[in-house]
Amino acid sequence: MRHNEPVTADDIENVTLAALPSALPAETVEPSVDADLPDNRYLNRELGWLDFNSRVLALAEDVSMPLLERAKFLAIFASNLDEFFMVRVAGLKRRHETGLSVRSADGRSPREQLGMIAARAQKIANRHARVFLDAVVPALEAQNIRIVEWNDLDEAQQSRVREHFHNELFPVLTPLAVDPAHPFPYISGLSMNLAVTVRDQAEGGEQFARVKVPDNVSRFIRVDELTGESEPADENAPQPTALFLPLERAIAANLSELFPGMEVVDHHVFRVTRNADFEVDEDRDEDLLQALERELARRRFGSPVRLEIGEDMSEHMLELLLRELEVHPADVISLPGLLDLTSLWQVYGMDRPTLKDRPFVPKTHPAFGERETPKSIFATLRDGDVLVQHPYDSFSTSVQRFIEQAAADPHVLAIKQTLYRTSGDSPIVNALIDAAAAGKQVVALVELKARFDEQANIKWARKLEQAGVHVVYGLVGLKTHCKTCLVVRREGSKIRRYCHIGTGNYNPKTARLYEDVGLFTAAPEVGADLTDLFNTLTGYSRKQEYRNLLVAPAGIRKGIIGRIDDEIAAHAAGNPRAHIQLKANALVDEQVIDALYRASRAGVPVDVVVRGISALKPGIPGLSENIVVRSILGQFLEHSRILHFGAQDEYWIGSADMMHRNLDRRVEVMVQVRDRRLEADLQDIFDSALDPRTRCWELRADGSWEALPAAGEEVRDHQRQMAVRRRHHTEPTPN
Active site positions, annotated = 481
Collapsing DSSP to helix, strand or coil, 28 comes out as coil
CA–CA dist 522, 733 (Å, integer): 13
Q: Give the chain's largest Cα–Cα span.
A: 92
**Cα dihedral value 689, 692, 696, 699, nearest 10:** 100
Count of CA atoms in the C-beta half-sphere (13 A) of 276 = 22
CA–CA dist 275, 307 (Å, integer): 12
Collapsing DSSP to helix, strand or coil, 171 comes out as helix
280 contacts 291 by C-beta, under 8 angstroms:
yes
Percent helix, strand, coil in the chain (nearest 5)? 35, 20, 40
CA–CA dist 678, 689 (Å, integer): 17
| H-run or E-run covering 274 | strand 262-274
Q: What letters, b where the CB count within 10 A reaches 16 and e where it falls short, cover 632-642? A: bbbbbbbbbbb
CA–CA dist 444, 416 (Å, integer): 6
CA–CA dist 193, 414 (Å, integer): 52
Q: What letters, b where the CB count within 10 A reaches 16 and e where it falls short, cover 149-184? A: ebeebeeebbebbeebbeeebeeebebbebeeeeee
9 contacts 20 by C-beta, under 8 angstroms:
yes
Give the count of beta carbons closer than 10 Å to the beta carbon of residue 449: 22
DSSP 95: H
CA–CA dist 466, 463 (Å, integer): 5
**Cα dihedral value 714, 718, 720, 726, nearest 10:** 130
Interaxial angle between packed helices 556-572 and 590-601, expressed in degrees from 0 to 180 and rounded to the nearest 10: 0
* 425 burial type by CB count under 10 A (0-12 exposed, 13-18 middle, 19+ buried): exposed
Interaxial angle between packed helices 45-61 and 67-83, expressed in degrees from 0 to 180 and rounded to the nearest 10: 160
* 592 burial type by CB count under 10 A (0-12 exposed, 13-18 middle, 19+ buried): buried
CA–CA dist 276, 294 (Å, integer): 13
CA distances to 397, 726, 727 from 391, in Å:
12, 10, 12
CA–CA dist 45, 51 (Å, integer): 9
Among 8, 4, 27, which Cα is nearest to 16's? 8
Q: Residue 576: is the preceding peptide bond cis (ω within 30°)?
A: no
